[in-house]
Amino acid sequence: MKTIQYLTDPLYSSLFWPGVLAGIAMALLAAGLSVFVVVKRLSFIGQGISHAAFGGAGLAAILGLSATFARGAMQEAPLYGIPQFAVITLFCLGAGLLVGLIADKEATREDAAIGIILVASMALGAILLKIAPPGPTWESLLFGSLYNIGMQDTVIAWTLALGVLLTLWMTRRSLIFWAFDESASPAFGVSPRTMKFVLLTLLAITTVASMKLAGVVLATAILVLPGAIALQVSTRLVPVFAISFGSALAGVLAGIVLSFELDWSPGPAIVTVLTGAFLVAKGVRMLRGRAGTHGVAAA
């Protein structure tokens, strides 16, 4: 198997293990948030924040922070370093909070606010990337590649994953209360606005980290599909989060194996696996629902 060869052969392991470890961190980073994203119907916000990163990339490029790091004669990875990562993160964080502020006003719906920020950020990014010195391309930002990252990126991914998971754990009661019963949460001392901005902040950090590792497409998918799979399988709180984490990890690892064995890009392979898992979970739920209906009719 190519997977065993790539991960055990000294000639390949140093190239591929950082991507595998970063992929695991990315799964953990997104899995906990994914449930909240699906329950609060914030999937479009994750997509909006990820596309806002184009504006941040353009801003970093115009500031001269873009960089292309070569890794061998046959491979060139258009990645960005810590200064550019910080600029893009701050830009996406600002975009996420701005969506929350605009959508808080009665005159503007949340979907309209996201659309406004999304198109404005992409337009800004297109203009700035056009006039800036050569840097990351649109293709690298959209699709990325887990196998083009280094150990520094892996350390960043795990640091962010642990930080986000710790924040989720510390705010879990308030976040869960707000997510599942927002109208009643103020009566119990939970501020919906505060919880919304906490979640938007974590979403911005997670989206930028995932985009840095594997592009916008995978960043969007990993924030939606694990939670969607979990909520198809169960409606109980603990199992839902357990299934979300399990499906995210299994999807990332299975996608990486597929990419090794079939020479696919890792991002699309992971998205394909997670999408397939969602379709299976949806099918099983529909069959159970029909079986239950027939049972009631027979009774």
Task: Classify residue 294: in a domain, yes or no.
Answer: no
Task: Classify residue 257: in a domain, yes or no.
Answer: yes
CA distance 149 to 20: 10
Mean pLDDT for the chain?
79
Predicted pLDDT of residue 141? 60
What is the CATH number for 113?
Answer: 1.10.3470.10
Predicted pLDDT of residue 278? 95
Task: Classify residue 229: in a domain, yes or no.
Answer: yes
pLDDT higher at 18 or 111: 18
Q: Contact at 8 Å (CB) between 190 and 178? A: yes
Residue range 84-114, pLDDT digits in tens: 777 877 888 888 777 767 766 555 566 677 7
* Residue 166 DSSP SS3: helix
Task: Classify residue 297: in a domain, yes or no.
Answer: no
Residue range 147-179, pLDDT digits in tens: 777 788 888 889 989 999 999 999 998 999 898
Task: Classify residue 298: in a domain, yes or no.
Answer: no
**Number of structural domains the chain divides into:** 1
CA distance 128 to 232: 42
Query: DSSP letter at 41?
Result: T
CA distance 49 to 96: 6
Task: Classify residue 296: in a domain, yes or no.
Answer: no
Task: Classify residue 27: in a domain, yes or no.
Answer: yes
Name residues whose C-beta falls within 8 Å of residue 108's C-beta, 6 or more positions apart in sequence: 102
Query: DSSP letter at 186?
Result: G
Residue range 252-275, pLDDT digits in tens: 999 999 989 998 888 888 889 999
CA distance 255 to 218: 11
Query: DSSP letter at 133?
Result: P
Task: Classify residue 188: in a domain, yes or no.
Answer: yes
